[in-house]
A and B are shown apart, each in its own frame.
Chain A
């Protein structure tokens, strides 16, 4: 008996040492729970998205089990690196969010490139917006450009290299102005700065300011997407106003590159099926998650384009 335990144990050790040679055959996949690496702390919006996905997928696909592993901090870099490094056996996938995923590549800090991943597809987005204090004279993007030309406006963004920062930089270029940029420690500081009238404007995300906009405590002058948002039809896009500034924070799924194609296509199909599931859509709506379905190839192209545009901003003024 004892000997047998020893042999089993030994086999286990060898398997581990050889990097789990036991091949993950597509036929009996999955034979163990699949880990979803969430590169942010538990409880946030990316985390909620992953948990709703896992819940729906488990209900839809018997035999599939998911474990959420939160690896937060460092703007997702640690989590993205963990996904890129994970063994490509189909038992580790992860979530990504932009522009951080590509910003870490551009700033040469992340130990990965886009080629380290198989991009499964996008799930959700949080559109960029421009907000001003409620009694501000600035009512449109044209006003913003004019005011910025006249004197320097103090404009709050979430840290350097964030989506807000990139959007503000793009607008500066587009309108030929320079802001007095105020980096903050996140949306709470931005909200307080706008509501308290400490800054002239703030580039941020729709979910962060929509409540204040509706309550009349602040005013959103533009949304930085191609089309108006269904949840806020009254807010014009920057494009409508003649400024080609688009920025949205996407949240999708990626897997380490090199997974057996048969297994990978199972996972990709599952993501597409879950995205189309009415129950999933209902739960996301309740959690104020705006869905933006993008297939793997589409999302790959999106990420590549984003990398190019972030690189342009970075090369002009590295951080």
Chain B
């Protein structure tokens, strides 16, 4: 309890609020990442009071994870890859004039996911970290497979199973470009140094989301006006649709669990939460067209990773993701070596740090709720103004990430290619799932086969693996059955 009083001092609160606010801005700007911000600030915290320094960085982490959803919803530009699933539902909502509802859903879901994961971190960290170690390369492969199962549930009246699968494969093929980790050889890099690390995700995503959207907007002869009355009037007090709590809880749990696994990130957590939500939703047909349930699950999922990722980071020194790795540097610089000692010898700093993240979550909740109605007005900007501004930001964001002009070309190529695919009725969601999860699946599979000395039984060996196979099958069967039913019905009709 005495730790709580350390959080509620004026300097502490000011630091946390400042960090969180900065985090929201960093997360919201494509091209700036939380990893970068935390990494650059770590040396500065050396001269600060250690506890305050950690609180500042924790605030940035929490804020940035939420911040990514703001441009995802308003401009179809995910501020971080973790906000991609949010854009899939949030942006269509904003176009419908429900931007304010989408923003509020996202901030409340982020708060729920973040807070839940920190409670877990506070109470069960050492216990869970040991469990997470059971999770090896074979299980990582299955986790990626679980995410890829989402491709099948994309199928709807516009996208056939074949087209959904083809888009997924296409994504995986694009992800093959770069260094083959197992042999060290280069694959399809055409002698370009820029391709040695493979296709950079952020330029690809900015191309497939924001730039493509701008191309489409620019290509429309007449623009369907957004229902402005909704935004100007009642939306200020807009109530959230009922029944979202279930999806937020689902996302919080999924995100926290995936966050705890060493090396697995918020992007995969958001996608898997999103797919779970789609499976249990009564309004399945609304997914992809602006379903707040999707926003709720995805945002709770990626914010759940915040606390989750710190579980292995603080107890074992194995960072849950790249931001957690940078944060670990801040602990080390102050002589707090991750491990059991953090919770005994250094408890007077570790516990206030963990508790401060509750304040950080509360801070962005207030920021988000207060600004939502005003931010939602961004969606009202006419396309003639919006298209050039967003396009400029897309170019700038791509360049800023790695100071690489090549990334700008990459972004434009993806926008053009994506537009073509979309016009031909292929699913971009499948492409993105393949692009993001393909490399994780490949790495897990290859490493599993090496550890298993060439025998695939390793993928069925552990208890975790067996449970994951059950979940994968449970995710695949219902959509496949419904596709088969529709197919038979159409056969009978003809």
Q: Which residues of A contact B (CB under 8 A)?
A: 41-44, 47-48, 51-52, 69-75, 77-78, 81, 109, 152, 154, 159-161, 180-185, 188-189, 191-193, 195-199, 211-212, 214-215, 217, 283, 286-288, 319
Q: How far is the CA of A161 from the CA of B319 in the complex (A)?
A: 24
Contact (Cβ within 8 A) A319 B453: no
Chain A min CB distance to B47 (Å)? 10
Which 9 A-B pairs have CB atoms at the shortest separation, nearest pair first?
A43-B39, A160-B184, A319-B184, A215-B339, A196-B133, A74-B196, A192-B262, A198-B136, A211-B337
Find chain A residues with CB under 8 A from B435 CB: none
Q: How far is the CA of A287 from the CA of B325 in the complex (A)?
A: 14
- Contact flags B25-48 to A (C-beta < 8 A → 1, else 0): 000000000011011101100100
Contact (Cβ within 8 A) B182 A74: no
Q: List 27 A-B contacts (CB under 8 A).
A: A41-B39, A70-B403, A73-B196, A73-B197, A73-B402, A74-B193, A74-B196, A74-B197, A77-B196, A81-B193, A159-B181, A161-B184, A183-B182, A183-B447, A184-B447, A188-B318, A188-B325, A191-B317, A192-B136, A192-B262, A198-B137, A211-B338, A214-B337, A215-B341, A217-B316, A287-B46, A319-B184
Q: How far is the CA of A73 from the CA of B201 in the complex (A)?
A: 13
Q: Contacts A43-B38, A161-B184 hold; do A51 and B194 have CB atoms under 8 A apart?
A: no
Given A72-B402, A287-B333, 6 more A-B residue pairs with CB atoms under 8 Å apart are: A43-B40, A75-B196, A161-B184, A192-B133, A198-B136, A217-B316
Q: How far is the CA of A109 from the CA of B193 in the complex (A)?
A: 9
- Contact flags B307-335 to A (C-beta < 8 A → 1, else 0): 00000100011110000011001001100
Find chain A residues with CB under 8 A from B43 CB: 48, 51-52, 287
In this assembly, does B135 line the interface, its C-beta being within 8 Å of a C-beta of chain A?
yes
Chain B min CB distance to A83 (Å)? 13
Chain A min CB distance to B348 (Å)? 19
Q: How far is the CA of A198 from the CA of B46 in the complex (A)?
A: 36
In this assembly, does B443 line the interface, its C-beta being within 8 Å of a C-beta of chain A?
yes
Find chain A residues with CB under 8 A from B281 CB: none
Find chain A residues with CB under 8 A from B194 CB: 74, 78
Instruction: Return the chain B residue nearest A209 by Cβ.
Output: B317
Contact (Cβ within 8 A) B182 A193: no
Q: How far is the CA of A41 from the CA of B39 in the complex (A)?
A: 9
Contact (Cβ within 8 A) A44 B39: yes
Chain A min CB distance to B486 (Å)? 41
In this assembly, does B173 line the interface, its C-beta being within 8 Å of a C-beta of chain A?
no
Contact (Cβ within 8 A) A180 B136: no
Find chain A residues with CB under 8 A from B338 CB: 211
Q: Which of these, A74, A193, A211, A288, contacts B339 with CB under 8 Å?
A: A211
In this assembly, does B471 line the interface, its C-beta being within 8 Å of a C-beta of chain A?
no
Q: How far is the CA of A183 from the CA of B449 in the complex (A)?
A: 12
Contact (Cβ within 8 A) B340 A215: yes
- Contact flags B178-192 to A (C-beta < 8 A → 1, else 0): 010111111000000
Q: Which of these, B40, B133, B450, contacts A195 with CB under 8 Å?
A: B133
- Contact flags B137-165 to A (C-beta < 8 A → 1, else 0): 10000000000000000000000000000
Q: How far is the CA of A165 from the CA of B182 in the complex (A)?
A: 12
Q: How far is the CA of A283 from the CA of B333 in the complex (A)?
A: 10
Q: How far is the CA of A73 from the CA of B36 in the complex (A)?
A: 14
Find chain B residues with CB under 8 A from A77 CB: 193, 196
Find chain A residues with CB under 8 A from B36 CB: 41-43
In this assembly, does B134 line the interface, its C-beta being within 8 Å of a C-beta of chain A?
yes
Instruction: Return the chain B residue nearest A52 by Cβ.
Output: B43
In this assembly, does B383 line the interface, its C-beta being within 8 Å of a C-beta of chain A?
no
In this assembly, does B474 line the interface, its C-beta being within 8 Å of a C-beta of chain A?
no
In this assembly, does B451 line the interface, its C-beta being within 8 Å of a C-beta of chain A?
yes
In this assembly, does B245 line the interface, its C-beta being within 8 Å of a C-beta of chain A?
no
Find chain A residues with CB under 8 A from B46 CB: 283, 286-287
Contact (Cβ within 8 A) B133 A319: no
Q: Which of these, A81, A154, A319, contacts B185 with CB under 8 Å?
A: A319
Find chain B residues with CB under 8 A from A75 CB: 196
Chain A min CB distance to B261 (Å)? 9
Instruction: Return the chain B residue nearest A77 by Cβ.
Output: B193
Contact (Cβ within 8 A) B183 A180: no
Instruction: Return the chain A residue nearest B325 by Cβ.
Output: A188
Contact (Cβ within 8 A) A154 B40: no
Find chain B residues with CB under 8 A from A195 CB: 133, 316, 318
Q: How far is the CA of A212 from the CA of B333 in the complex (A)?
A: 16
Instruction: Return the chain A residue nearest B332 by Cβ.
Output: A288
Q: Which of these, B42, B179, B318, contacts A192 with CB under 8 Å?
A: B318
Q: Which of these, A184, A196, A199, A319, contacts B183 with CB under 8 Å?
A: A319
Q: How far is the CA of A288 from the CA of B337 in the complex (A)?
A: 11
- Contact flags B184-213 to A (C-beta < 8 A → 1, else 0): 111000000110110000000000000000
Q: Contacts A191-B317, A195-B133, A196-B133 hold; do A183 and B196 have CB atoms under 8 A apart?
A: no
Q: Contacts A70-B403, A211-B339 hold; do A189 and B193 have CB atoms under 8 A apart?
A: no
Chain B min CB distance to A104 (Å)? 10
Contact (Cβ within 8 A) A189 B263: yes
Q: Contacts A180-B453, A191-B262, A319-B185 hold; do A212 and B447 have CB atoms under 8 A apart?
A: no
Chain A min CB distance to B448 (Å)? 10
Instruction: Return the chain B residue nearest A75 by Cβ.
Output: B196
Chain A min CB distance to B334 (Å)? 8
Find chain A residues with CB under 8 A from B337 CB: 211, 214-215
